[in-house]
Amino acid sequence: MRPIFDPVTTRPNPSGSGVVRTQFAGNIIPRDRLSPQVLYFNKFIPLPNSPDGTFVSTPVIADDSNQVTLRVDREIDRSNRLFARYSNHHNTERSPA
């Protein structure tokens, strides 16, 4: 898991160049530091459901396909040629992702 650092704790690095920050306790941003907009949208984010702490989705995928073929040839005479074809194929396939 990647550490989450508190941006308001940014300070010069005492060991050299650059800056350092303090990591949030437990790697969790405190609720009082979240904006009302974030709190609203968090309601729509699913909770983790896998051992590694992420959300895994396995929706059912529906694949509907239609195929139509039509062919007409003719040359009646010079040995009488004629050809006609009509094909209609419908397929519905459902599978987990």
- Tokens 């094909």 — which residue? 87
Quote the CA–CA distance of 44 and 46 in Å, as a whole number: 6
pTM above 0.85, yes or no: no
For 2-48, how does the pLDDT look when each residue is reduced to its tens digit (9 = 90+)?
899 999 999 999 998 999 999 999 999 999 999 999 999 999 999 99
* Residue (of 28, 38, 36, 31) closest to 5 by Cα position: 28
Q: What is the extent of the structural domain holding 89?
A: 60-96
Please list the residues that pair with 55 across neighbouring strands.
none
Residues in contact with 54: Cβ distance below 8 Å, sequence separation at least 6, in sequence order: 48
* Positive/negative CA dihedral, 46, 50, 53, 55: negative
**DSSP 8-state assignment for residue 45:** S
Q: Residue 96 pLDDT > 70, yes or no? A: no
Q: Is residue 47 part of a domain?
A: no
Q: Is residue 23 part of a domain?
A: no
Q: Is residue 43 part of a domain?
A: no
Domain count, the chain: 1
Q: What is the mean pLDDT of the chain?
A: 90
